[in-house]
């Protein structure tokens, strides 16, 4: 039948993971999801944590299923969200593994601000301030003595790469979410690390996407698979931007649990006006992703659960019949991990003297309009900073499937909206695998 099955992408998000295979048949390419699993945080001693052993079992199960169905898979790549990591003591994990939504870092943030000014930090790293950035998490770990026995720290995709290959590497694109990478030198900034008195042995040389390692002998036996593992752009948004053919200096919106709205630039933008507007410079494959992190569909996801609504499609239909247009700041800290998303939104609207929604329809419509307004404001800021006017925006990720939200983005921003309702991270993941294999040949 002239099939050729070559590459497997494991794309892990905060709410779920998926294994995607690229099939080539008669010179036509097709992407097929072969396994999907739910991902979620646990509550451990009052803190939000990741069960990395449960995630690992799902990753392995997906590989076995994929390779049984498509035995000609030659390479595997894995991407995840940024910021979070696993501390290691030799070959043993230091548990728990905290989740970025856990609000444990207030003291870490305070210590960093006393030792390094926000301006100095931004001029070196170009990293947007978020209280859950790795830099603040690590300082918090230091305060509680968790670094005293740590021999390594591995970002989540680096940890799973090690589990597959037995090799510990530090990958560039995900490292740029830590707040510890020098944006110009593209390496961990040892001056910052020294000022914060963090153990320097934790911060190894960064490896760019495309590096290949074989599966370890142990994994080959356990999985029954003979394949190489490619270090892809392990930050999921970095892979997603590779998955969509976005030209340099073009706007993009990765619309998912988080919204990441930005533009591809050849060099980092490190001026203090960009810091003031809270933009970040994150690594791409040969370019910088100059972008802002916006709370995104997390708000919708939480409301869906809280209001016991059966589907996102139903939520969209509810919003469409509402005339309610009041908006709120989707990036307010109170929305990061509230006990009740509905009450948190209501409180923001009341605080800002907005008319209260009288139904769930109005509440949901307020979220969609607030997201679109936030995107419009961010686009205005990008145009101010880059001194360019953009006529369109490429939207990809799960949110790109929402035609109603896309229409609101067009209405608010006055930009042409091109939607790519595909799993862009998996596509970019596989694209990098293919490129790496071709170079090795």
User: CA-to-CA distance for 198 and 293, rounded, in angstroms?
Assistant: 26
What are the helix and strand counts (H, E) for the chain? Answer: 16, 22
3-class SS of residue 247: coil
User: CA-to-CA distance for 266 and 275, rounded, in angstroms?
Assistant: 18
* Beta carbons of 229 and 159 less than 8 angstroms apart: no
User: CA-to-CA distance for 419 and 216, rounded, in angstroms?
Assistant: 40
* Beta carbons of 168 and 158 less than 8 angstroms apart: yes
For residue 313, give Cα distances in angstroms to 40, 216, 271, 405, 408: 22, 43, 41, 12, 16
Catalytic residue among 11, 236, 267, 380: 236
Q: Which residues of 58-74 are buried (b: 16+ CB within 10 A; e: fewer)?
A: bbbebbbebbeebeebe
User: Could you give the strand order of the β-sheet that contains 392-396, starting from the edge strand earlier in sequence?
Assistant: 280-283, 288-294, 259-265, 251-255, 392-396, 416-420
* Beta carbons of 299 and 345 less than 8 angstroms apart: yes
| 195 burial level (CB within 10 Å; 0-12, 13-18, 19+) | middle
Q: What are phi and psi of 226, to 5 degrees?
A: -120, 95
236 is catalytic: yes
* Beta carbons of 324 and 318 less than 8 angstroms apart: no
Tell me the catalytic residues: 236
């Amino acid at each position: 039948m002239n099939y050729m099955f070559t590459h497997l992408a494991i794309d892990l998000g905060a709410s779920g993971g998926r294994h995607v295979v690229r099939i080539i048949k008669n010179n036509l390419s097709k992407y097929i999801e072969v396994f999907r699993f739910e991902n979620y945080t646990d509550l451990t001693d009052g803190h939000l944590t990741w069960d990395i052993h449960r995630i690992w079992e799902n990753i392995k199960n997906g590989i076995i299923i994929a390779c049984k169905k498509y035995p000609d898979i030659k390479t595997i790549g894995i991407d995840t969200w940024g910021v979070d990591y696993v501390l290691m003591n030799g070959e043993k994990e230091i548990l728990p593994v905290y989740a970025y939504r856990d609000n444990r870092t207030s003291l870490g943030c305070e210590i960093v601000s006393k030792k390094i000014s926000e301006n100095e930090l931004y001029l070196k790293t170009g990293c947007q301030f978020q209280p859950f950035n790795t830099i603040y998490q690590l300082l918090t770990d230091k305060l509680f003595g968790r670094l005293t026995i740590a021999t390594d720290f591995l970002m989540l995709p680096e940890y799973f790469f090690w589990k597959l290959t037995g090799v510990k590497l530090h990958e560039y694109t995900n490292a740029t979410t830590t707040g510890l990478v020098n944006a110009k030198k593209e390496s961990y900034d040892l001056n910052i690390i020294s000022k914060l008195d963090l153990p320097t042995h934790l911060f190894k040389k960064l490896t760019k996407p495309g590096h290949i390692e074989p599966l370890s002998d142990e994994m080959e036996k356990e999985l029954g698979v003979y394949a190489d593992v490619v270090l892809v752009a392990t930050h999921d948004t970095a892979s997603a931007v590779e998955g969509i053919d976005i030209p340099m200096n073009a706007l993009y919106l990765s619309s998912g649990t988080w919204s990441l709205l930005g533009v591809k630039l050849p060099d980092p933008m490190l001026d203090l006006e960009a810091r003031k507007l809270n933009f970040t410079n994150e690594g791409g494959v040969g370019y910088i992703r100059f972008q802002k992190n916006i709370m995104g569909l997390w708000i919708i996801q939480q409301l869906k659960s809280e209001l016991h609504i059966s589907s996102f499609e139903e939520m969209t239909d509810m919003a469409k019949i509402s005339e309610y247009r009041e908006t709120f700041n989707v990036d307010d800290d109170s929305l990061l991990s509230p006990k009740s998303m509905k009450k948190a939104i209501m409180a923001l609207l009341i605080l800002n003297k907005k008319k209260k929604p009288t139904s769930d329809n109005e509440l949901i419509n307020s979220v969609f309009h607030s997201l679109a307004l936030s995107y419009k404001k961010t686009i205005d800021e990008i145009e101010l900073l880059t001194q360019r006017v953009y006529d369109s925006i490429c939207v990809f990720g799960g949110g790109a499937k929402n035609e109603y939200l896309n229409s609101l983005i067009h209405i608010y921003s006055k930009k042409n909206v091109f939607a790519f309702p595909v799993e862009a991270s998996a596509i970019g993941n596989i694209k990098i695998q293919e490129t790496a294999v071709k170079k090795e040949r």
